[in-house]
């Protein structure tokens, strides 16, 4: 199939109010061309048909497919490794950074871990068809229930990590969704090999082949065409760098679940236990600096700054973290603190760099976070429960923590099971998102002939 | 303020993958110009500040504000009626249809009903700060809870009905959200008068004046500017004709909750009680044809068509409903049945017109709905519970009903209390949407110094 045609530009309605107003007869015409003329549309429609079939396939058959896929991934290890070696060779030739090569790279241990993760999703409780909240009987005798159903078709758009392919396929099948998986060009061969293993597992279990489709190209025009398929795709989840996520958000006509970045804060209150605060700051910044729930900024209560900042500076220097501070931090933080620029407060370093600012108590910390936060994760360290509860109630980030590291903002750590992504926009899912985030609810009403009067 | 400047065009990222890939340092710069240069941005930021204040204002103070607003709307009746008379005069001069004039028109009874609706929302249970699901303790001792919080800033974009102004303001305040209300140009004076009453009520209760803002212009360029304020507005809810909703969806960088149209179906199964089926068909189509949960298509099981279609045709002719049918319906439906075109199956008539098709049992009905439905509301009439449950499980519309009219797909009828809108996209809210749809949840984690290893 050819996927290189440029899609039609995004259509904007004329700037006038619709002539007929809200009560007018709506003209028909979904204007959907036949599949054969557009391979991306054909793929999206195949996913829709698979989703319609999946929605009524019982949980145990989807569980069986997950177990079969895990086995096929294990058995397919040599083929997956061979494809990955080719990807790595091309990536090295293209001069990719060591960090990216590491993300792309698979070995037997990593493939075994991917298979184990699929088996864990197979063991997760199934949510589809469960009642949400109590059923109610209306005064007219109608019985009203809300029932959990799949979203339908999920498109994942991601970059170099091949494990996203199996993680996303597994969580989508667990929740009865069909998925379209579009990884980065660096991982193209690896993803196709993983896709073959997934397809074999689906066939073993008798599930529709189109339930999991590897997008056959990494061409940007084809991605754009996919992002306009709002009739056949229910949600797009981009994962990766901010540039990719902004491209998807700006292009998509399909709803997007995403986070751009995590500028996470730790506020050290005047009533904090200094030893606990030092341990949490170090962990939040340095345990794994390249991930979104690592801290980027420490906010230090003025009341504790003279005693705490010298110790914090020493601790961070000892582990090789560069400090960019406000005036007080430059004065109190010890040698080597660089002055922070205004931009530093909005920067996700994803590196061994931290910005530090002295603030006036919890109110000052909240004010800074409201201005510079990214709605991802913020922590407070304090022994004062009143101050802590004020912080937890006022900061509207998707995860707020008291006396714990920001690094716990993770689906697995919070007990959600496997995580499909993190959302920092408040609609649908907010924060780490697991199986429940891939579902919605419908109203199911049972009557005995009721009509409305 | 001047609101007539054209906003910058929607920004599209260049078509290349971001050079740095997923691990690169993200550049700073939210690139937010100062408020003073852009009145729309200034208004959105004022809403954000009000939302930050509202989020910690206790439920009883928001209840007090709702009671005060209801009183101010009642007391402001003469001024609201005067403004509405001016709107109506201009609308008549502009040649608006009688249906639109009726939607726009207020009288003492309608204003009293608006005040009563506000008072009812004041009496609704408050959701903000409530725990969602049980709190859990992780093996490492972290206590994890999910707490209901406001979305933040809600923008409503609607057309001629002034009651949307008070309904939306009330439900947003009940849920701790600030709102920006942009009604149609026909209702501009009425909405400003209602806004003055709301502002007076907010002042009476000491709530921030910017918690409810009437958008000061109906200019389309200013609306476009508002729809790009994704830093300061959390959700846009358009209500009105399909043209307006498509404009909002295509333009907005803010998440949109919407439905384009309701092409709702009633399927009459072979095992239906014919008298019940006739009553439900008549009610679903004709009780109020101009609304989205009215039925547009009846699907008749081939098994019952020869006996049922003549009676249905007679009943519909008696109440002046035009029939457009497939070949079988033309043959069996009695005199005056026009042949349906392919477009008829996708058309929301919003009028006393219905399309009718004979299908092969519940499977044929589901197939038609999957192809032509709008994910709004579908009903089955049958005495066979197995067939009914199959229909309820397979059709993934936001509301599915058994032996009841489609007209019950309504927040009030389903027991949600006041309704802010209906969503036919599956993300966040699906179906009629009340107070809960204006909230989200955040993770609140309480620890004792935990760090991640």
Residue range B33-89, pLDDT digits in tens: 445 568 999 999 999 999 999 988 999 999 999 999 999 999 999 999 999 999 999
Residue range A214-263, pLDDT digits in tens: 999 989 999 999 999 999 999 999 998 888 999 998 899 898 998 878 99
Say whether both A251 and A273 belong to one domain.
no
User: Strands B235-238 and B264-268: what pairing?
Assistant: unpaired
Contact predicate A394/A281, CB 8 Å: no
Of A247, A408, A447, the CB nearest to B13: A247
The DSSP annotation for A29-71 comes to ------GGG-HHHHHHHHHHHHHHHHTTS-HHHHHHHHHHHHH
- Is the pLDDT at B96 greater than 70, yes or no? yes
Domain count, chain B: 2
**pLDDT band (50, 70, 90) for residue A37:** low
Mean per-residue pLDDT, A437-445: 96
Tokens 């005798």 belong to which residue?
A141
As a whole number of angstroms, the distance between CA A158 and CA A114 comes to 17
Q: How far apart are the first and last CA of chain B?
A: 55
pLDDT at A23: 36
Q: Could you list the residue range(s) of the whole structural domain that residue A388 is in?
A: 264-414
Mean per-residue pLDDT, B423-452: 95
Burial class (CB in 10 A: 0-12, 13-18, 19+), A121: buried
**pLDDT band (50, 70, 90) for residue A290:** confident
Say whether both A113 and A202 belong to one domain.
yes
The DSSP annotation for B45-72 comes to HHHHHHHHHHTTS-HHHHHHHHHHHHHH
Say whether both A269 and A247 belong to one domain.
no
Structure tokens at B201: 């009520």
More confident residue, B209 or B260: B209
More confident residue, A208 or B13: A208
Measure Cα distances from A198 to A63, A72, A86, A87, B253 in Å.
13, 7, 20, 19, 35
pLDDT mean across residues, chain B? 91
Q: What is residue A123's three-state secondary structure?
A: helix
- Percent of chain B exceeding pLDDT 90 equals 81
- Is the pLDDT at B4 greater than 50, yes or no? no
Query: Which one of B233, B258, B283 terminates a domain?
Result: B258
Inter-chain contact A428–B431, Cβ cutoff 8 Å?
Answer: no
Question: What is residue A131's DSSP assignment?
Answer: B
Residues 289-328 of A with CB under 8 A from B: 290
Say whether both A301 and A186 belong to one domain.
no
Give a yes or no: residue B449 inside a domain. no
Query: Which one of B258, B284, B311 terminates a domain?
Result: B258
pLDDT at B263: 96
Q: Is A293 left (phi over 0), alpha (psi -120 to 50) or beta?
A: alpha
Say whether both B126 and B207 belong to one domain.
yes
As a whole number of angstroms, the distance between CA A72 and CA A194 comes to 9
Q: What is residue A204's three-state secondary structure?
A: helix
pLDDT at B37: 65
- Is the pLDDT at B409 greater than 70, yes or no? yes
CB contacts < 8 A, A to B, total 341
Tokens 């290893």 belong to which residue?
B453
pLDDT at A210: 98
The Cβ-side half-sphere exposure at B249, using a 13 Å CA radius, reads 23
Cα three-residue angle A65-A71-A73, rounded to 5 degrees: 100
Give a yes or no: residue B133 inside a domain. yes
> In sequence order, what are the residues at sequence separation of 6 or more whose Cβ sits closer than 8 angstroms to the Cβ of residue B131?
B145, B146, B147, B148
Say whether both B101 and B245 belong to one domain.
yes
Question: What is residue B131's DSSP assignment?
Answer: B
As a whole number of angstroms, the distance between CA A179 and CA A211 comes to 6
- Is the pLDDT at A14 greater than 80, yes or no? no
Angle between helix axes B305-318 and B274-286 (nearest 10 degrees) is 40
Give the CATH number for residue A346: 3.40.309.10
pLDDT at B36: 52
pLDDT at A313: 98
Question: Dihedral (C-alpha) B124, B125, B128, B134: value to the nearest 10 degrees?
Answer: -150
- Cα-to-chain-centroid distance, residue B420: 5
Query: Which one of A226, A258, A290 terminates a domain?
Result: A258
pLDDT at B99: 82
- Percent of chain B exceeding pLDDT 70 equals 92
As a whole number of angstroms, the distance between CA B228 and CA A245 comes to 16
Residue range A386-420, pLDDT digits in tens: 999 999 999 999 999 999 999 999 998 998 888 88
Q: What is residue B256's three-state secondary structure?
A: strand
Inter-chain contact A414–B444, Cβ cutoff 8 Å?
Answer: no
Inter-chain contact A343–B28, Cβ cutoff 8 Å?
Answer: yes
Burial class (CB in 10 A: 0-12, 13-18, 19+), A364: middle
Mean per-residue pLDDT, A372-379: 96
Give a yes or no: residue B433 inside a domain. no
Cut 0.95: pTM above it:
no
Mean per-residue pLDDT, A421-432: 91
Reduce the secondary structure of A355-368 to three states and give it as a string.
Answer: EEEEECHHHHHHHH
**pLDDT band (50, 70, 90) for residue A77:** very high
pLDDT at A204: 97
Is B449 in the A-facing interface, judged by CB distances under 8 Å?
yes
Q: What is residue B166's three-state secondary structure?
A: helix
Say whether both B250 and B272 belong to one domain.
no
Q: What is residue B278's three-state secondary structure?
A: helix
Say whether both B359 and B298 belong to one domain.
yes
More confident residue, A407 or B7: A407
More confident residue, A95 or B27: A95
Angstroms from B440 CA to nearest CA on chain A: 6
Q: How far apart are the first and last CA of chain A?
A: 55
Say whether both A44 and A178 belong to one domain.
yes
pLDDT at A36: 52
**pLDDT band (50, 70, 90) for residue B418:** confident
Q: Which H helix or E strand runs over B102? A: helix B98-104
Mean per-residue pLDDT, A123-148: 95
Residues of B in contact with A176 (CB under 8 A): none
Residue range B162-183, pLDDT digits in tens: 999 999 999 999 999 999 999 9
- Is the pLDDT at A29 greater than 70, yes or no? no
> In sequence order, what are the residues at sequence separation of 6 or more whose Cβ sits closer than 8 angstroms to the Cβ of residue B283?
A451, A452, B405, B407
Say whether both A243 and A353 belong to one domain.
no
Angstroms from B155 CA to nearest CA on chain A: 14
Tokens 């962990």 belong to which residue?
A283
pLDDT at B437: 94
Residues 93-112 of A with CB under 8 A from B: 96-97, 99-100, 103
Give a yes or no: residue A442 inside a domain. no
> In sequence order, what are the residues at sequence separation of 6 or more whose Cβ sits closer than 8 angstroms to the Cβ of residue A268?
A277, A281, A298, A299, A300, A301, A304, A308, A312, A381, A382
Strand positions, DSSP E, B210-330 = 212-214, 235-238, 264-268, 295-301, 322-325
Give a yes or no: residue B251 inside a domain. yes
Q: Is A238 left (phi over 0), alpha (psi -120 to 50) or beta?
A: beta
- Is the pLDDT at A69 greater than 80, yes or no? yes
Angstroms from B219 CA to nearest CA on chain A: 9
Give a yes or no: residue B2 inside a domain. no
Q: What is the ipTM of this complex?
A: 0.88
Mean per-residue pLDDT, A167-188: 96
Say whether both B214 and B332 belong to one domain.
no
Q: What is residue A116's three-state secondary structure?
A: helix
As a whole number of angstroms, the distance between CA B378 and CA A46 comes to 24
Q: What is residue B423's three-state secondary structure?
A: strand
Say whether both A68 and A152 belong to one domain.
yes
Q: Which H helix or E strand runs over A445? A: strand A439-450
Least confident of A105-119, A277-291, B406-420: B406-420
Q: What is residue B384's three-state secondary structure?
A: coil
Contact predicate A329/A281, CB 8 Å: no
Mean per-residue pLDDT, B137-156: 97
**pLDDT band (50, 70, 90) for residue A56:** confident
- Is the pLDDT at A178 greater than 80, yes or no? yes
pLDDT at A25: 38
Residues of B in contact with A447 (CB under 8 A): 401-404, 408
Inter-chain contact A449–B279, Cβ cutoff 8 Å?
Answer: yes
Give a yes or no: residue B192 inside a domain. yes
Give a yes or no: residue A404 inside a domain. yes
As a whole number of angstroms, the distance between CA A237 and CA A239 comes to 7
**pLDDT band (50, 70, 90) for residue B113:** very high
- Percent of chain A exceeding pLDDT 90 equals 81
- Percent of chain A exceeding pLDDT 70 equals 92
- Is the pLDDT at A3 greater than 80, yes or no? no
> In sequence order, what are the residues at sequence separation of 6 or more whose Cβ sits closer than 8 angstroms to the Cβ of residue A417?
A120, A121, A124, A411, A434, A435
Give the CATH number for residue A164: 3.40.605.10
For B357-384, letters b (16+ CB in 10 Å) and e give bbbebbebbbebbeebbbbbbbbbbbee
Residue B400 CB coordination number (10 Å): 26
Is B185 in the A-facing interface, judged by CB distances under 8 Å?
yes
As a whole number of angstroms, the distance between CA B381 and CA B387 comes to 10
Question: What is residue B18's DSSP assignment?
Answer: P
């Amino acid at each position: 199939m050819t996927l290189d045609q440029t899609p039609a530009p995004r259509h904007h309605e004329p700037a006038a109010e619709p002539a007929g107003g809200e009560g007018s007869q709506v003209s028909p015409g979904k204007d959907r061309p036949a599949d054969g003329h557009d391979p991306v549309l054909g793929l999206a429609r195949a996913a829709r048909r698979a989703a319609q079939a999946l929605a009524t396939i019982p949980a145990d058959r989807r569980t069986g497919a997950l177990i079969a896929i895990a086995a096929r991934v294990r058995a397919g290890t040599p083929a997956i490794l061979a494809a990955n070696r080719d990807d790595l060779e091309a990536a090295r030739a293209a001069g990719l950074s060591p960090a990216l090569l590491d993300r792309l790279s698979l070995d037997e241990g990593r493939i075994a871990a991917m298979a184990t993760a699929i088996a864990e999703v197979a063991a997760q409780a199934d949510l589809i068809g469960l009642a949400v909240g109590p059923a109610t009987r209306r005064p007219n005798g109608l019985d009203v229930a809300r029932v959990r159903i799949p979203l339908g078709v999920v498109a994942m758009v991601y970059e170099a990590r091949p494990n996203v392919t199996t993680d996303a396929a597994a969580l989508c099948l667990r929740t009865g969704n069909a998925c379209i998986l579009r990884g980065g060009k660096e991982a193209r061969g690896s993803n196709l090999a993983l896709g073959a293993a997934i397809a074999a597992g689906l066939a073993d279990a008798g599930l529709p082949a189109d339930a999991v489709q590897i997008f056959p190209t990494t061409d940007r025009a084809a991605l754009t065409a996919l992002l306009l398929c709002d009739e056949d795709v229910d949600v797009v989840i981009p994962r990766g760098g901010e540039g990719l996520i902004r491209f998807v958000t700006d292009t998509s006509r399909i709803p997007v679940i995403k986070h751009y970045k995590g500028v996470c804060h730790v506020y050290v209150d005047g009533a904090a236990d200094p030893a606990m605060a030092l341990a949490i700051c170090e962990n939040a910044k340095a345990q794994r600096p390249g991930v979104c729930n690592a801290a980027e900024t420490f906010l230090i209560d003025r009341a504790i700054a003279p005693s705490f900042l010298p110790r914090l500076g020493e601790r961070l220097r000892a582990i090789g973290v560069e400090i960019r501070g406000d005036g007080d931090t430059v004065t109190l933080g010890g040698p080597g603190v660089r002055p922070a620029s205004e931009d530093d407060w909005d920067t996700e370093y994803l590196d061994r760099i931290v910005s530090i600012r002295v603030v006036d108590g919890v109110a000052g910390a909240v004010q800074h976070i409201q201005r510079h936060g990214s709605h991802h994760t913020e922590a407070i360290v304090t022994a004062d429960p009143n101050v802590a509860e004020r912080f937890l109630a006022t900061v509207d980030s998707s995860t707020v923590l008291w006396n714990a590291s920001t690094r716990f903002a993770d689906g697995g750590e919070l007990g959600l099971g496997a995580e499909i992504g993190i959302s920092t926009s408040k609609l649908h899912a907010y924060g780490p998102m697991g199986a429940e985030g891939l579902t919605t609810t419908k109203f199911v009403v049972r009557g005995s002939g009721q009509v409305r009067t």
